[in-house]
Chain A
Amino acid sequence: MKDRREFLKEVAAGAVLLGSGSKLAVAAIREANPQPAKSKIVIARDPELHGTGANTSAQPDEQRVQALLDRAIAAYTGHATPVAAWKSLVPMDKVIGLKVNGLGSKGIATHPALIMAVAERLQQAGVKPGNIIVFDQNVHFLQSCGMTVNTDPSKLRAYSSDVAGWDDQESSWGVAKIRLTKILSHDCDMVINMPILKDHEGAGVTFAMKNMYGVVDKPFTLHANHCNPAVADLNCIPAIRDKVRFTIGDAMSSVYDGGPGFHPERLWYPNTLLIGEDRVALDTIAWEMIERQRAQAGLPALEAAGRPPHYIAAAADPSRNLGTNDPKRIHRVEI
């Protein structure tokens, strides 16, 4: 028997078909996807993650990454021990996907140290190694994140959409008409989003929501109008909205201009993790970080550069209700 939430989702989906801007659609979407009064986002920093001065390293210190992750998760959940914290976040008997981002090559990809830290804590909390799948769009992107393909279910798995394949059926919401990777639609019960913070030549900023371009077969069809509202619409597709429930955002290093590719001359080290459930709030904070660094480097704001990430506001719009971009409704916990 359907519960109330499932029923409302079906109503919402039907209303969307009738017209996403209708009052019925907006009301149904809001009720099916209730948002908290305030979205909690933990901003965890360790200034010495990459070393200091002449000893600065391109790769962060693994032990410091693990410690930073533990602090961030503890602050988010209120549980002092990592095991208790992770148990409160993740169902132990399910298959958990870690959607990483290796598009920017080894120079600017989700850090292997962070991926392995999350995988280790998941296992310590009780998730079987084979029930953890690290994935991205293709094998090369995975390699950029330090992963090699492994489909053996007795071990931590890592494979990409070009290995797993795409859904036969198209999924659509608004302007987003795509086929999803089977890793998301079929193999995983829940996905932890693990993007890396970057400037983006088209979208302005790429972080939590934009990382979902890596779960579709033809991301290039979603680039028009600075990816607006494509990013927002893509995140409204039920499998993405429902399964991608938590984000551990990698802002340990970042590029503030010239992204999403790697431009070492525009690399900086925020030494930060951003974690939370509200993808819109996370992207709002990510945008602020990019703007601050661009200003410091003497570059124009993204609006002036002609590529403001308007998709963030579109995602917060009541017709999508993916989260909030209102600073007053974002509860920032800075540690």
Chain B
Amino acid sequence: MFSGKRSLVTGHDFTGCGKTHSGTGKGSFVSGHDFSRADTANKMRRALAPEGRFGSLASHSRIISIFCVAIAIIFAGAGCKKAIVDPFPASGAVSGWQKTGDTRVFAAKDLWQYIDGDADQYIRAGVVSTSTSDYNYQNHLEAVVDVYTMGDSAGAHKILAGDESKTSKSVSLGDEGVAFEQSVTFRKGVSLVRIVAYSSTPDAPQALLALAHCVEAKL
């Protein structure tokens, strides 16, 4: 049933599974940056620029100003928070899968509200935040996608290693991954993704892998 090869999921429609770039995602996932101050500074410099015989100098000054503002924007961009990608495929992004709930996000200190007693092991492994959303496959298979953002990849590996067992099968997803008939867990960098189906159906393993590949592509 499992081969772990990507060829298993060929034929699925991965439209919408590409990376989400800064400024293109939903507001809740992309932290934008306020450039209005840079624009204002530019206008002020223009207003203060000398006129008349110093016209060429003014023009030169304008170029320098624009250059400085551009540099400032680049540095400001580098200094602001890194844009957070939305790893959750939209409905229809993977053939047959519908996103059936809002994405819920929990900071490490609030993770108990989602998984209570389970939270401790994630906190020990350095979880930073957790996002979760419900999905439905062709109206007969319910599943949940959990994305744990860890402080480092070692923390993600630690949790993943706990999922491995004699009955798990290795899958080619991210940096490492394992699958069972009703679940797929993989790590990509500091992200740990667990996708779990609530029931067992013949098409569950392949459907879960397809969804997992889409999540991986968006990370």
Contacts and interface: CB of A to CB of B under 8 A. Distances in A.
Given A200-B117, A201-B118, A263-B183, A58 B112 contact: no
Interface in B125-167: 142, 144, 162-163, 165, 167
A223 B115 contact: no
Contacts of B163: 263
Contacts of B199: 57-58
Most chain B Cβ neighbours within 10 Å, of A107, A140, A203: A107
A260 interface: yes
Nearest to A103: B116
Contacts of B180: 264-265
A260 B198 contact: no
- Chain B interface: which size bin? 20 to 34
A203 B117 contact: yes
Nearest to B142: A106
A264 B197 contact: yes
Contact of B118 (A58, A106, A140, A261): A261
B182 interface: yes
A202 B199 CA distance: 26
Contact of A201 (B117, B142, B144): B117
A201 B112 contact: no
A228 interface: no
Given A105-B144, A220-B112, A265 B117 contact: no
Nearest to B197: A264
A202 B120 contact: yes
Contacts of B114: 140
B119 interface: yes
B116 A213 contact: yes
A105 B116 contact: no
Interface in A173-208: 200-203, 206
A77 interface: no
A316 to B, nearest CB: 22
Contacts of B118: 201, 259-261
Given A200-B117, A201-B117, A264-B198, 4 more contacts: A105-B196, A203-B117, A219-B116, A223-B117
19 contacts: A58-B199, A58-B200, A105-B144, A105-B198, A138-B113, A201-B118, A201-B121, A206-B117, A219-B116, A220-B120, A258-B162, A259-B117, A260-B115, A261-B115, A263-B163, A265-B168, A265-B180, A265-B181, A265-B183
